[in-house]
């Protein structure tokens, strides 16, 4: 009898195994768009709902950046860690209740480490509770045109009610780049140090694919491996999203394939001449090496321009009605308005353009550009500047930009800032 019972149980186990439904593999979707126009270059299941996983943190940071711009938060402000925040499961920093975390460190913890506990610290600082913050996230999604997205938490931890689409995540990536060019550099960070440890980015595309400068990876079992990516080549920026990858490596290979196809076939639309944007011209000086984009099928190089480019200075138009910047271009024009220092030139370019658009009464004769500072033993730094202005104009411009939550400082040509 024991033998017969053992055989019967074995047969039953086999039947149950065969009959049991297999866990469904996460469904795949993707999209590639041209960043400036939003034109869709390729798409697969782009409107099908998926679990966003840690791509959710992009919206968390969008709302944090809004709070920074409004002055409700500052980068050096320290925030309290609640019991709820400290209880979040990995990935995490390992925060303890009652501890305090600086806003800047919390931002980097999200972009580099994808720390769930830090996400809740930021959410509670902005909205009081994570639940209230999630409601703000969904409301902002609707405002940005993300019609199929619902957020339930700040981190992307599993929740059946938290869904999005590849198209919506591409739209969010596009909004982050366009609306916060002065903060986008956080998504380019490859590492950050906190609590005596150095954390390396989960986004290996930053190192492995030429031209990628952000934005975010994500994974939970139900979603598979997700990534939203932005890349620049030949002055063109593409945004791509892959959701439902089987492994991190296969997801990254698929992303590289999508970007290669869009770049190499010339599908991407070249940057358009916009009447509301001043041309970005590289300017050389004794201390600066200008850059340009050199298109390549495998990487983006920032090569020195052989000849110096000197801005042609002309009087401001007589019909100008701007009154915020009364300083004229006449006289000393050896100063620059510096609005940021970045590890990649595309971020510097975006911020320089953004600053020029925000300034009232900026004479057309100035030059908006990016200059490079070499660093022995390290990668170069890219400085976003508005050049060819007087000291008075530079000081006045910085007052305007600081009021708009942008970094700014006047720079004398003879003393280029680091």
Do 210 and 346 belong to one domain?
A: no
How far, in Å, CA of 213 to CA of 89, rounded? 28
Is 15 a residue whose pLDDT tops 70?
no
**Is residue 269 assigned to a domain?**
no
Residues in contact with 110: Cβ distance below 8 Å, sequence separation at least 6, in sequence order:
57, 60, 61, 118, 119, 122
The mean pLDDT of 37-60, rounded to a whole number, is: 96
Note the pLDDT of residue 17: 43
Note the pLDDT of residue 263: 87
Do 136 and 249 belong to one domain?
A: yes
Confidence category of residue 8, pLDDT binned at 50, 70, 90: low
Provide the residue count of the chain. 418
**Is residue 208 assigned to a domain?**
yes
Instruction: Read off the pLDDT of residues 334-363 as tens digits, 9 standing for 90 and up.
Output: 788 888 777 678 777 888 888 888 887 777
The mean pLDDT of 40-64, rounded to a whole number, is: 97
Note the pLDDT of residue 91: 95
Is 333 a residue whose pLDDT tops 80?
no
Do 258 and 294 belong to one domain?
A: no
How far, in Å, CA of 150 to CA of 77, rounded? 29
**Is residue 60 assigned to a domain?**
yes
The domain in which residue 337 lies consists of 289-309+325-412
Is 277 a residue whose pLDDT tops 60?
no
Q: Which residues are identified as catalytic?
A: 54, 57, 114
Do 71 and 194 belong to one domain?
A: yes
Confidence category of residue 177, pLDDT binned at 50, 70, 90: very high
Q: The CATH number of the domain where 74 resides is what?
A: 3.40.710.10
Say which residue, 327 or 289, is predicted with more confidence.
Answer: 327
Note the pLDDT of residue 44: 96
Is 46 a residue whose pLDDT tops 70?
yes
Do 239 and 302 belong to one domain?
A: no
Confidence category of residue 149, pLDDT binned at 50, 70, 90: very high
**Is residue 13 assigned to a domain?**
no
Note the pLDDT of residue 317: 30
Do 123 and 84 belong to one domain?
A: yes
Instruction: Read off the pLDDT of residues 17-40 as tens digits, 9 standing for 90 and up.
Output: 444 444 467 899 999 999 988 889
**Is residue 132 assigned to a domain?**
yes
Note the pLDDT of residue 252: 95
Is 290 a residue whose pLDDT tops 50?
no
In the chain, the number of structural domains is 2
**Is residue 152 assigned to a domain?**
yes
Note the pLDDT of residue 151: 98
Do 330 and 394 belong to one domain?
A: yes
Average pLDDT, whole number, for the chain? 79
Using a pLDDT cut of 70, give the percent of the chain over it. 74
Phi first, then psi, for residue 78 (nearest 5°) are -100, 140
The mean pLDDT of 85-99, rounded to a whole number, is: 97
Note the pLDDT of residue 358: 85
Alpha helix (H) residue ranges in 87-165: 103-108, 116-127, 130-143
Do 132 and 242 belong to one domain?
A: yes
Cα-atom radius of gyration of the chain, to the nearest Å? 25
Confidence category of residue 389, pLDDT binned at 50, 70, 90: confident
Note the pLDDT of residue 318: 30
Q: Is 145 left (phi over 0), alpha (psi -120 to 50) or beta?
A: left
How far, in Å, CA of 60 to CA of 54, rounded? 10
Do 60 and 116 belong to one domain?
A: yes
Do 64 and 193 belong to one domain?
A: yes
Is 255 a residue whose pLDDT tops 80?
yes
Residues in contact with 319: Cβ distance below 8 Å, sequence separation at least 6, in sequence order:
none
Say which residue, 397 or 96, is predicted with more confidence.
Answer: 96
Is 48 a residue whose pLDDT tops 90?
yes
The mean pLDDT of 120-128, rounded to a whole number, is: 98
Is 405 a residue whose pLDDT tops 80?
no
How far, in Å, CA of 83 to CA of 9, rounded? 47
Say which residue, 248 or 297, is predicted with more confidence.
Answer: 248
Do 59 and 170 belong to one domain?
A: yes
Do 250 and 359 belong to one domain?
A: no
The mean pLDDT of 385-392, rounded to a whole number, is: 86
**Is residue 5 assigned to a domain?**
no
The mean pLDDT of 135-144, rounded to a whole number, is: 96
Q: Which of 244-253, 302-311, 379-388 has the highest mean pLDDT?
A: 244-253
**Is residue 316 assigned to a domain?**
no
Note the pLDDT of residue 375: 62
| Other Cβ atoms within 10 Å of 25 Cβ, number | 9
How far, in Å, CA of 416 to CA of 49, rounded? 49
In 195-334, where do the E strands start and end? 197-200, 212-220, 224-233, 236-245, 289-290, 292-294, 301-303
Q: The CATH number of the domain where 355 resides is what?
A: 3.30.70.1070
Note the pLDDT of residue 4: 53
């Amino acid at each position: 009898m024991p033998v017969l019972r053992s055989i019967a149980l074995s047969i039953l186990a086999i039947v149950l195994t065969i009959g049991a439904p297999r866990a469904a593999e996460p469904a795949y979707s993707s999209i590639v768009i041209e960043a400036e126009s939003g034109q869709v270059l390729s798409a697969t299941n782009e409107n099908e709902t998926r679990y966003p996983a840690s791509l959710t943190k992009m919206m968390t940071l969008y709302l944090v950046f809004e709070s920074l711009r409004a002055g409700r938060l500052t980068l050096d402000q320290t925030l309290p860690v609640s019991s709820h925040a400290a209880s979040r499961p990995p990935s995490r920093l390992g925060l303890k209740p009652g501890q305090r975390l600086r806003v800047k460190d919390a931002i980097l913890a999200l972009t580099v480490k994808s720390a769930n506990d830090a996400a809740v610290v930021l959410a509670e600082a902005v909205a009081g509770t994570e639940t209230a913050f999630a409601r703000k996230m969904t409301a902002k999604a609707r405002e940005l045109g993300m019609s199929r997205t619902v957020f339930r938490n700040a981190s992307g931890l599993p929740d059946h009610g938290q869904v999005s689409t590849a198209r919506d995540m591409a739209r969010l990536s596009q909004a982050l780049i366009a609306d916060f060019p002065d903060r986008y550099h956080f998504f380019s960070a490859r590492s950050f140090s906190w609590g005596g440890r150095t954390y390396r980015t989960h986004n290996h595309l930053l190192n492995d694919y030429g031209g990628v400068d952000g934005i975010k990876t994500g994974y939970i079992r139900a979603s598979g491996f997700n990534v939203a990516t932005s890349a620049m080549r030949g002055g063109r920026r593409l945004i791509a999203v892959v959701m439902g990858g089987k492994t991190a490596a296969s997801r990254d290979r698929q992303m590289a394939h999508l970007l290669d196809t869009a770049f190499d076939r010339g599908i991407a639309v070249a940057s358009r001449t916009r009447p509301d944007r001043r041309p970005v011209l590289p300017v050389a000086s004794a201390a600066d090496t200008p850059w340009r984009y050199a298109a390549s099928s495998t990487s983006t190089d920032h090569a020195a321009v052989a000849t110096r480019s000197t801005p042609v200075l002309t009087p401001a138009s007589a019909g100008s009605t701007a009154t915020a910047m009364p300083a004229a271009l006449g006289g000393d024009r050896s100063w620059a308005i510096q609005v940021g220092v970045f590890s990649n030139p595309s971020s510097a370019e975006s911020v320089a353009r953004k600053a020029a658009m925000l300034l009232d009464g900026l004479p057309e004769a100035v030059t908006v550009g990016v200059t490079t500072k070499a660093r022995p033993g390290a990668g170069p730094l890219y400085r976003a500047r508005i050049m060819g202005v007087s000291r008075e104009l530079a000081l006045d411009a910085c007052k305007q930009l600081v009021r708009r939550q942008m970094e700014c400082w006047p720079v004398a040509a003879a003393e280029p800032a680091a």
